[in-house]
Amino acid sequence: MTGTLPRRAAAEFTGTALLVAAVVGSGIAAARLSPADVGLQLLENAIATALALGALILIFGPVSGAHFNPVVSAVDWWLGRRAGTGLSGRELAGYLPAQVAGAVVGAALANVMFDLPAVAWARTDRTGGHLWLAEVVATAGLVVLVFALARTGRTGAAPAAVGGYIGAAYWFTSSTSFANPAVTIGRAFTDTFAGIAPASVPGFVVAQLAGGLVAIGAIALWFPDAARDAGDVVVPPLSPETVRQ
């Protein structure tokens, strides 16, 4: 990885905050604009999230790689640890708290933008084996996608591919595809359309971590040399000198 860790961690913090602000804010707007149609609300929420995610990858990818997700960062560290690619242990320790803190701030920001209390614990229970299975599937698919793009030299497609995958997974998973422990924690801080009750968070996070393990196995099977390109996930960060040119 290139650039200073504080600079990259700040990008992960801000990118994750804006991602959660997009998820929560679009959910609030959808519920207000289409109060009688939950399906339309979900469509509006999914489209806004997919588009925002693609844009955020374009903004912050050159700085930090645009992980915005502890599972992506952890798998990046795990696969690249022996090859010296991807995140180091120190970098992982900087990324994870930045992502979680950013997610909480992003939820509060969305709440305030819509004239709601900055923090309101969610009351939407999301629990059950079918939802946990959906989170395993959604998270594994996301991680395999970003490593497949890196291994095959197609990271330029990451903004559209990752945004498209998350937008689609809103619909083909019963959990509406949180697929991200930081985002899951952040969404516990908003009692709105996108919220998740704090008591439901641990089950989702465990399922997402399991999805990361499934992804490691799938990557080893389908892309056995993926460790060589771990430093290019989600997109290759640029050195500060290159960014200034």
| In a domain? residue 160 | yes
Structural domain span for residue 47: 5-227
| In a domain? residue 233 | no
53-98 pLDDT, tens digit per residue, is 999 999 999 999 999 999 999 999 999 998 889 899 999 999 999 9
Share of the chain above pLDDT 70, in %: 96
104-129 pLDDT, tens digit per residue, is 999 999 999 999 999 999 999 999 99
Tokens for 55?
A: 């844009």
| In a domain? residue 122 | yes
224-245 pLDDT, tens digit per residue, is 999 999 999 999 987 665 555 4
Nearest CA to 126 among 196, 182, 206, 27?
196
Tell me: pLDDT of 185 over 80.
yes
| In a domain? residue 235 | no
Tell me: pLDDT of 169 over 90.
yes
Q: How many domains does the chain have?
A: 1
pTM attached to this predicted model:
0.95
| In a domain? residue 244 | no
Q: What is the pLDDT of residue 244?
A: 55
| In a domain? residue 238 | no
Name the helix (H) or strand (E) containing 219. Answer: helix 201-222
Averaged pLDDT score across all residues of the chain: 95
Confidence of residue 1 (pLDDT cuts 50, 70, 90): low
CATH assignment of the domain containing 85: 1.20.1080.10
> 13 and 102 in contact (C-beta within 8 Å)?
yes
Residue 245 CB partners (closer than 8 Å, separation 6+): none
> 3 and 94 in contact (C-beta within 8 Å)?
no
Cα–Cα distance measured from residue 157 to residue 130, given in angstroms and rounded to the nearest whole number? 31
| In a domain? residue 113 | yes
